[in-house]
Amino acid sequence: MLSGARQSERRLQALGIAPYPYKLAAFILSGMGAALAGALMANYARFVSPDMLAWTKSGELMIMVILGGVGTLMGPVLGAIALVGLEYWLAGLTEHWQFVLGPLLIAVVLFARGGLMALLRRPGAPGRAQA
C-alpha cells in the first residue's frame, strides 16, 4: 500500500483506497521506532548531550542506508556493518582514514546502483553459485 501511495496517490484513490490511514500508520510506526532507539541510546550511554542531535549523526545513518541498499530490509544492516568495519580498519592503517573512505563510498554509489545488496544479488557475484 505504501509503495502504491509513493508511486501515485491518485491511482489508489481511483481504486477506492484511501492512502492517508496507511501513511499515518507508517509515520506513527517510524516515530515509535525512533523514540525507542533514542530511549535505548540514552539508557546505553547514560548521558545525552546536544552532540547527539548534530546533523552528522543523521548523515552517518543515511550513508549506511545508501551504502547497503535503499529499499531493502537487510541493506541498511549490511551498510552499517560495512561502514563501521571500514572506519575501524582504515583508522588502524592511517590517521587520515577519511580521505580513503570518501572515494570508496563515492565509488560504491557510482558503480553499485542499489548499494552492496545489489552487488550481492547480481548474477556472478562472489559467493553466488553459478548454474
Could you tell me if 118 and 110 are in contact, meaning their C-beta atoms sit under 8 angstroms apart?
no
Phi, psi of 57 (to 5 degrees): -65, -45
CB atoms within 10 A of CB 14: 9
The pLDDT confidence band at residue 72, using thresholds 50, 70 and 90, is confident
Q: Roughly how many angstroms between the first and final C-alpha of the chain, as a whole number?
A: 36
Mean pLDDT computed over 92-100: 90
pLDDT at 25: 94
Mean pLDDT computed over 32-42: 91
C-alpha count within 13 angstroms, C-beta hemisphere, residue 78:
17
Report the run of H or E that residue 46 belongs to, with start and end. none
